[in-house]
Amino acid sequence: MGRRPKRKQKYSSDRERSLGFDRIRIEDESKALPARESGPGPERALLVGICQPGQDEYVAGEHLDELEMLARTAGAEVGDRELVKLRRRDPATYVGKGKAVELAEIARHARADLVIFDEDLAPAQTRNLEQVIGQRIVERSGLILDIFARRAQTREARTQVELAQMRYMLPRLSGAWTHLERQRGGIGLRGPGETQIETDRRILRTRIRTLQKELDHIARTHETQRAGRSKTFRFALAGYTNVGKSTLMNDLTQAGVYEENLLFATLDSTTRTINLGGRQDVLISDTVGFIRKLPPDLVASFRSTLAEIREADCILHVIDLASPSFREQKQEVEQILNEMKVGTVPRINVFNKLDAVEDDQIVDGTRHDWPEAVMISARRGIGRDALLDRMRQAVTESLVTLDVSVPGEDGKLLADLYDQGEVLETTERDGALQVRVRLTPEAVSRLGLTRFS
């Protein structure tokens, strides 16, 4: 008997044939899962975490937990999770064609409407995965941008988020109009023409320029406002998202900032004045939280908001002590602060949520590693006095002590010294008043003072 000839494998497209993807088919219709009922409810998602070569699997699992929090914050319903142990990055699909086919089957059983990857993919990888899996692919950066768009309330925040979205979309337009790759033709459109993708890119670039001009105007307004309060010592709250910065802000200032157990609950900066005792008034600003792999376009768009950190005299780095990965989160924030070129700004480590830590060894180990840190629970007011003491210490350490000779007839200079500094001692010598005073560096420059010795 002759050998039966092999049946040619069917592919859904020339693209799949070139990549070697098998078309996903249900051989037995009776075994097919019923389709998920459509309606106004939340989208159902398959989450895909990536364990990079050499990465600890436990750490990769924590990253997948964070992706689940992001997905739920965005309003998705998590249907299933899959952690992919990557040997190498596949240029076509990132995870490899075999794993892509497997993910398609998992997504089908989970009745997922979309697949969310905990990595940023190349536009071609996203298109290839969508062809194989048959569902919409969302990257980590796209998910974060979606959350920011949901959270944006003010005009500034909405403008910042839209600008980041436009920049994110621009390199990903290729493939969005593959059915219109040929130049447009028809009545009134013949001639050199313009492809649809070129038209969309031009529209996006125009919109980006408009949004950038609007944000530049907002930034100049903020600079003017900050210039008016430049003589006041400034603290800025910084930290990973959902560590309790807004709760701490409300505890210290009763500012009424929105607080919720959600990622990126607040996007706009809020600045308030607090009194540290006596005549020592300082400013404190709450800023947007950071997260692992924060999209660069988002950081660039939020530069006017993050300027509160850049121009601070001291940063209060708030850390969630109750998080199993608080050390990694702390390191991630420090890396972002260094990238913002504020690594030399004095910093106070504030470990929050002390009341939620059940293991005393975690507290003891943290105190051993960071003896200068402050342990607090912003929600219960635990450690507030200790934090205020450290803030007063930071202000004192920033001051300059000068001996100033004040001529007897210069009453205005003497009044300025009392008004803008802390006079420690006064003595008369050679018809002039010798004043030892403690001032901020800005006040020294503003008053044009010279050291007397």
Residue 350: partners with Cβ closer than 8 Å, 6 or more residues away: 248, 316, 317, 318, 319, 373, 374, 376, 387
- Residues of the chain with pLDDT below 70 are 1-40, 174-196, 222, 225-231, 255-268, 278-279, 300-305, 450-453
Please return the burial class of 8, using the count of CB atoms within 10 Å of its CB with bins 0-12, 13-18 and 19+.
exposed
CA distances from 194 to 15, 181, 190, 406 (A): 25, 10, 10, 75
CA distance 399 to 92: 58
Report the distance separating Cα 47 and Cα 115, nearest Å.
6
Strands (E), 347-449: 347-352, 374-375, 400-407, 422-429, 432-439
Q: Between the CA of residue 299 and those of 20, 44, 126, 175, 339, what are the distances in Å?
A: 39, 29, 23, 27, 10
Q: d(Cα 311, Cα 227) in Å, to the nearest integer?
A: 11
pTM of the predicted model as reported, rounded to 2 decimal places: 0.71
Q: How many residues are there in the chain?
A: 453
CA atoms of 436 and 422, how far apart (whole Å): 9
Identify the pLDDT of residue 17: 45
Phi, psi (rounded to 5 degrees) for 420: -105, -5
Q: Report the distance separating Cα 177 and Cα 200, nearest Å.
A: 10
Q: What is the pLDDT of residue 375?
A: 97
In the chain, the largest separation of any two C-alpha atoms, in whole Å, equals 125
Classify the C-alpha dihedral 421-273-214-140 as positive or negative: positive
397 vs 273: CA distance, rounded Å? 20
Number of Cβ within a 10 Å radius of residue 67: 24
* pLDDT at residue 418, as a whole number: 83
- Which token pair is 354? 């002390």
CB 249 within 8 A of CB 257: yes
The DSSP-derived string for 154-205 is: SHHHHHHHHHHHHHHHGGG-TTTTGGG-SPP-STTT-SS---HHHHHHHHHH
Nearest by Cα to 291 from 252, 328, 236:
328
Q: Name the residue type at position 311.
A: E
Start-to-end C-alpha separation, the chain: 112
